[in-house]
Structure formats: C-alpha cells, structure tokens
Amino acid sequence: MGYYFVREYGAAGDGKTNDTAAIQQAIDECHREGGGRVVLSSGTYVTANIEIKSNVELHLEHGATIVASPNPDDYDCTVWGGGRHYLIFSKQAENIAITGSGTIDGNGKSYIETDRGHIYKMKRKRPFTVLLVGSKTITIENIRIVDGAVWTLTLSGCSDVLIRGIRILNDLKVPNSDGIDIDRCQNVRISDCHLECGDDCIVFKATDFLWGKGPCENVTVTGCTMVSNSFAINIGCEVEEPIRNITVNSCVIRDSHRGIGVHLSNHNNVENIMFSNMIIETRYRNPDWWGAAEPIYVVSIPWTDKDKLGHVKHIRFSNILCKSENGIFIQGWEDYTVDDILLDNVRIELDKWTDEAGGRHDIRPCHGGDLDGRSAGVYDYPTNGFFLKDINGTVTLRNCEVVWGEHIPDYYKHALEAHRVQGLDLQNFKGTAAFPARDEAIVRTV
C-alpha cells in the first residue's frame, strides 16, 4: 500500500493556513495511482471541500485535526448538485476509509448566530462534517469527530458500511447536530461507538433530498453509548422508501430527551425492527427540543395534511431497563396500520429529578404544526407508565413492570392507559397506580 503524506504536498497544519488544496492533491494522486493511505501527521489542518475518492484511506494520526473552515465562502456547494456545504465528501466512490486516532472538527462554534440559553440559533450556511453519497465498501474506524455544525456523519445511498469505535462529541445546544444519519443505505454495521449529540445520535431515514433511491435496510447497531437532547436512536421521520431489517443490541442511553423507537410521518413502511438488552435513562428538556422524556416511543402520524402513511409492523423491544421522567408512548393514526408491537421483559421506573416542566406529550413532527411551533404536537397530559392510543393492530406487553420512584408529581397516574387499541394482550403485567388511594385503576382503558 502506498503512503501519501499531506505535508509533502504543501499542507502546513498550522491551524491558520487553508490546507484544502494540498490535502486534495494528495488524495487525487493516491487515487490515480490505484489507491493507498493519505496520512495527516500531528497538526491542525484548516480545510473545506475535501473529496475522498475510490481506494483511498484518509488516515489521521494521533494529534492530527482537520477543522472546518469558519468562512462559508471557502465551500463550493455546487460540487455534487446538492447545494450543501460539507467538510469531507465522497460521491460514487468505492473502497474508501476514514481511520486513525485523530480528530475531525466540524467547527460548529463558528456558525452560532445567537445563544438562547438552552439552544443555539445557527447560521444558515453551516457545513455537514462528513457526507458520503452513493458510495460503497466504506470503513470509518476509531476516529473522533467533534463540534458538528449540522448532521455530523451522514451516509446517503451507500452500501456495505462499517462504522466502528468512533466518538462523536457535539455541543448539546446545537440543533440538528445529528450523530450518524443512515439514509437509504444497505448492509450497515455500527458498533462500539460513543455519541453525544444535540439532535438524534443515530437516525435511520429515507429522504427525498440527498442521494438516490432505494430502502434503508439490513443494519446492526451493537455496543454503543449515547447522550442526546432529542432521540438517541430514531427510525424515521422521513420514510420515502421502506426502512426495515434493523437490530439494536447491548446499548446504553443516558441523560437523553427520548430513548429509542420509531416515528413514521410519510407514505412508506417501517418494519422488522428489534431493540434488545438495553439500559435507557430519559429526562425532560426544554420543548424547543423534540421529545418528552419517553424511553420507548412508537408513533405513526402524518407530517403535513398532504402526507399519507404506510405501516409500522413487527417491532420488538426485549430485555430493557428504563428509568425516566415520562412513560412509554405508542400511538397510531386513524385507520393507518400499527401492528404486531411486542414489549417483552421491559421494566420502567418513573421518577422526577430535573427542574424542567413535565406532564406532557410530544408527537412532532405532525399535521398542523411546524418545526418551531408547538401548538399541534406538544400538549399537557398526565404521565402513565405505558400510554397506548389509536392502534388498529396488536400490542403485546409480556412480563412488563411499572415502578414509581421517590419523587412523583401529582400528574403521575396509571401503570397503563389505553385508548382505542384493537388488540391489547397483557401477559404477566405488573404495576400499581402512582397514587393508589386517589387513582384506583392500575390499567385504564377508553
């Protein structure tokens, strides 16, 4: 394998010089000569618009940092026709890798417009940190990615992807600072990662605005730890093609606004999803962030009045311990199908330990609301261990348990509340009302 050292192509690595051209020259020569490793040694390389090409491994040695240029004019957003700024990019490349013990810095701090205390308002032209589209046979390993300005590691229309041992450490006040976005990708393996993100840590979607066509399918997530101001693991919201065949196992989620689940907002289907062997801790945050402290969440509801819905089917949650300020939430919509949802050996302990206001539901994005408005999607509601509503298929709760903690507000109510659930199957369900003398019903059905 050939080695191409970027300093030999004129890169300064001094944190001041724009080294984009030098790094790109090393990548281009490596690609022309059949492939190899492009090496960044210790130093800080200010860059924009780096394109990884087939058979190239971009390798950051310990102490090496790529930092996104703070100047929007340094970015050419016409390169791939998507009209978006990016730091590191690939288009229809094969056999590519980003490796090493160095750091990729998205420089989100340079794109803050105002600080609202709990959330930033960001400048419009902020770059994706890593954006790989239409590519295959991809390895991203051991790298550290920090301070993403918007989606941090995004793969769209890609296949045969291995993401292992990476760290994503974003400022938790940056909106839309997703960790890993898997869009219309197939055969993806994510393992042994630690993610801290203002928005979703890992999200699976099938958008209509990034790259190509096809489902998002055949994905495994194993052994990851996560913190999020929104959803730790989100399947949805954009579902323009099917999302299916995803397993999530042996992960720990803490201090997050929402834990795991599905949100279907579009006309296609989400099916064959398994979450197992997990520990989840969720808490309330300001409602400017989507979520309401639900450890497990499944919702099917149209994003706009023009959206039709597909179905949500064959979803499994097993061997999960939850501690939360809100309950498990499952809701369908009209006659659209939510069916075959199983929660097996799920224990939830409800308690209140933050100063954020609780006792609410949040079903955004939804018909009648917008990205910033909360009137349609956020509303006050008592807290129940499990809340089920408008489900025209089956929901099975097997060996599930609700436990109330030491600090429970007056709005904590029933172990289970169900509205218009066609097929509710309770098998060895355990729990009491939060205040048995006041609320006699353990299970309330309407």
pLDDT 10s digits, 6-26: 999 999 999 999 999 999 999
What is the spatial distance between Cα 299 and Cα 106, in angstroms, rounded to a whole number? Answer: 32
Q: Which helix (H) or strand (E) holds 114?
A: strand 112-115
DSSP state of 372: S
Instruction: Give residue 80's pLDDT.
Output: 62
Query: Prior bond to 197 cis, omega within 30?
Result: no
Query: Of all residues in the chain, what percent carry a pLDDT higher than 90?
Result: 87
Instruction: Give residue 374's pLDDT.
Output: 47
Strand, helix or coil at 160? strand
DSSP state of 375: T
Looking at every residue in the chain, the average pLDDT score rounds to 94
DSSP-H helix ranges across 153-240 = none
Query: Of all residues in the chain, what percent carry a pLDDT higher than 70?
Result: 96
367: which 2 tokens? 């018909």
Least confident among 7-11, 77-81, 138-142, 236-240: 77-81
Instruction: Give residue 28's pLDDT.
Output: 98
Instruction: Give residue 99's pLDDT.
Output: 98
The CATH number of the domain covering residues in 2-445? 2.160.20.10
What mean pLDDT do residues 154-181 have?
97
Q: Which residues contact 117 (CB under 8 A, 6 or more apart)?
A: none
**By the 8 A CB rule, do 38 and 56 touch?**
yes
pTM of the model: 0.96
Task: Please name every residue paired with 216 in a beta bridge, in sequence order, or none if there are none.
Answer: 243
Judge whether residue 340 has pLDDT over 50: yes
Q: 347-404, pLDDT tens digit by residue?
A: 999 999 999 999 999 999 987 654 444 467 999 999 999 999 999 999 999 999 999 9
pLDDT band at 307 (very low <50, low <70, confident <90, very high): confident
pLDDT band at 125 (very low <50, low <70, confident <90, very high): confident
What mean pLDDT do residues 265-290 have?
96
What is the spatial distance between Cα 275 and Cα 267, in angstroms, rounded to a whole number? Answer: 24
What mean pLDDT do residues 399-425 have?
96
* Greatest mean pLDDT among 80-84, 332-336, 441-445: 332-336
Instruction: Give residue 123's pLDDT.
Output: 93
Instruction: Give residue 210's pLDDT.
Output: 85
pLDDT band at 304 (very low <50, low <70, confident <90, very high): confident
What is the spatial distance between Cα 359 and Cα 361, in angstroms, rounded to a whole number? Answer: 7
